[in-house]
Copies of this chain bind each other. A is one copy, B any other.
Amino acid sequence: MAKNITPRAEDYSRWYNDIISQAQLAEHAPVKGCMVIRPNGYAIWEKMQAALDRMFKETGHVNAYFPMFIPESFLKKEAEHVEGFSPELAVVTHAGGAKLEEPLVVRPTSETIIWNTYRNWIQSWRDLPLLINQWANVVRWELRTRLFLRTTEFLWQEGHTAHATEGEAHEETIRMLGVYARFAEEFMAMPVLKGPKTDAEKFAGAVRTYSIEAMMQDRKALQAGTSHDLGQNFAKAFDVTYQDSEGKREHVWATSWGVSTRLVGALIMCHSDDDGLVLPPKLAPMPCVIVPIWMKDEQKDEMTAAAEGIKADLNGVEGVTVDARDQYKPGWKFAEWELKGVPVRIEVGPRDMAQGQVTLVRRDTKAKETIPREAVGKRVPELLAEIQAALYQRALAFREANSHQLDDYAEFKKQVDEPGGFFWMPWCGGAPCEAKVKEETKATIRCLPFDAKAEAGSCVVCGAPSERRVVWAKAY
């Protein structure tokens, strides 16, 4: 298969689009800003959904579904919320052949419709905590879109929980941030920083937003998931109260948290290379492909049978596939499966078979190893685990190599575009300094990392005292 992928070094943005188009992950839809998620892309999202859904259920959450249409008046009940989302709304004004009395907003997020519903579900402390998640599509009318990373309609999950106390809501916010970080690191093999966002960057309607932040291969940051401590903002806006065990009525405390199909974009940008997609085995719809090789037609059946035998030995690994297509040569197939990011390729040819062995090829390093045929059932799962770990370590090493401790704003301005990366710098905590940096460099404070050690310093902008460093970067 002939590939035509722009190298990352030449044009990272075109490289990203080439990967998506040639690996057939997604494409632009005829409606501006919307995308079609093709089967290869959707299969990755399904693997993500399955892993996340399991983690949500293990932490006590159940799924439900709330309507996509929200009366416009609901949005207006939480002042910051409506201000934040108004510019991005898609509005249904006509339905069933008539003009609607009240326009309906297509949900940009579901806090308002959900908290309007929770009012009837929550009466007493016995109804709490309420731990609900929803898998859904949402719409935010974005001007500048990019496949997976920012699209007008996207798929996501949104958790919406209600608690009796501020402390419990805070705990939940941090717990789900931890679930996201664990998912990113264990499944996506993508190291992340965790921590609160600044007030300027928080969710419209939240008391505090926490995020996980990853570094892409162009050294830009990508916010990969957010968890919001909503305080009593939505409970007050929708008058959701509960009676505590002493009979006192109080407003409920809330959280919400979400990740989206943006994660597919992050996965691509984090690991893939100039030959195509590189997928971590835990999220690869096809973790292993077996390619029988024959020189003469009469070898085909034997080699295909040998390949099927290997597949049978790997029945504990979901998604293993034998590629015995006639119309393509082995080299073409190798290139195709590389492009599509299959973590391990097994080559089964007459010479190897005669010697009782097969060849394994890793997608990430291209390293080959020849192993005895009977070792396949043991070695392949092992190799998949090694690849999963190696991808994480490679991404972590890349992030560390591109993280800089700076104490000087002039120096930062020199480095922020080239080489770029994560800049750990002292900050006074003031919004004006944050805004100045954003205006002058387009870099933002990604988060106030939990990992940041206490360290007395001076804000790189104004020189006022700082207690710990925060992370600045240009971001998607």
Chain B binder among A27-35, A270-278, A347-355, A387-395: A27-35
**Complex contacts, A94 vs chain B, CB 8 Å:** 90-91, 93, 103
* 8 Å CB contact of A42 from B63, B68, B141: B63
CA distance A116 to B34 in the complex (A): 14
Q: Is the CB of A29 within 8 A of B67?
A: yes
A459 at interface by CB-CB < 8 Å: no
Q: Which residue of B lies closest to A140 (CB)?
A: B96
The minimal Cβ–Cβ distance linking A426 to chain B, given in whole angstroms, is 38
A92 at interface by CB-CB < 8 Å: yes
A137 at interface by CB-CB < 8 Å: yes
| Total count of chain A residues near the partner, CB < 8 A | 56
* 8 Å CB contact of A93 from B86, B87, B91, B139: B91
**Complex contacts, A103 vs chain B, CB 8 Å:** 94
Q: Is the CB of A62 within 8 A of B36?
A: no
* 8 Å CB contact of A90 from B87, B92, B155: B92
CA distance A86 to B45 in the complex (A): 33
**Complex contacts, A71 vs chain B, CB 8 Å:** 30-31
Number of copies: 2
* 8 Å CB contact of A34 from B62, B67, B120, B136: B67
**Complex contacts, A41 vs chain B, CB 8 Å:** 64
A167 at interface by CB-CB < 8 Å: no
The minimal Cβ–Cβ distance linking A338 to chain B, given in whole angstroms, is 21
* 8 Å CB contact of A64 from B37, B113, B136: B37
Q: Is the CB of B91 within 8 A of A95?
A: yes
**Complex contacts, A38 vs chain B, CB 8 Å:** 64
Q: Is the CB of A64 within 8 A of B90?
A: no
Q: Considering the complex, which residues of chain A in the window 87-139 have a beta carbon less than 8 Å from any beta carbon of chain B? A: 87-97, 103-104, 106, 113, 116-117, 120, 126, 132, 136-137, 139
The minimal Cβ–Cβ distance linking A286 to chain B, given in whole angstroms, is 12
**Complex contacts, A31 vs chain B, CB 8 Å:** 67, 69-71, 104
Q: Which residue of B lies closest to A285 (CB)?
A: B62
A408 at interface by CB-CB < 8 Å: no
Q: Is the CB of B43 within 8 A of A63?
A: yes
CA distance A233 to B37 in the complex (A): 24
* A30-65 interface code vs B (CB 8 A; 1 in, 0 out): 110011111101110110000000000000001111
- A87-B96, A94-B90, A96-B88 in contact; A113/B29 too (CB < 8 A)? yes
* 8 Å CB contact of A117 from B36, B62, B92, B104: B36
Q: Which residue of B lies closest to A65 (CB)?
A: B37
**Complex contacts, A141 vs chain B, CB 8 Å:** 95-97
Q: Is the CB of B36 within 8 A of A64?
A: yes
A66 at interface by CB-CB < 8 Å: yes
* 8 Å CB contact of A137 from B30, B42, B96, B137: B137
Q: Considering the complex, which residues of chain A in the window 237-292 have a beta carbon less than 8 Å from any beta carbon of chain B? A: none
A153 at interface by CB-CB < 8 Å: yes
Q: Is the CB of A92 within 8 A of B95?
A: no
A143 at interface by CB-CB < 8 Å: yes
**Complex contacts, A64 vs chain B, CB 8 Å:** 36-39, 41-42
CA distance A238 to B152 in the complex (A): 24
CA distance A152 to B104 in the complex (A): 13
Q: Which residue of B lies closest to A67 (CB)?
A: B34
**Complex contacts, A153 vs chain B, CB 8 Å:** 67-69
**Complex contacts, A97 vs chain B, CB 8 Å:** 86-87, 89, 141
Given contacts A29-B113, A89-B95, 19 further A-B contacts (CB under 8 A): A27-B117, A29-B117, A30-B71, A31-B69, A31-B70, A34-B69, A39-B132, A41-B64, A46-B63, A68-B137, A89-B96, A90-B92, A90-B94, A90-B95, A90-B96, A91-B92, A91-B95, A94-B103, A96-B143
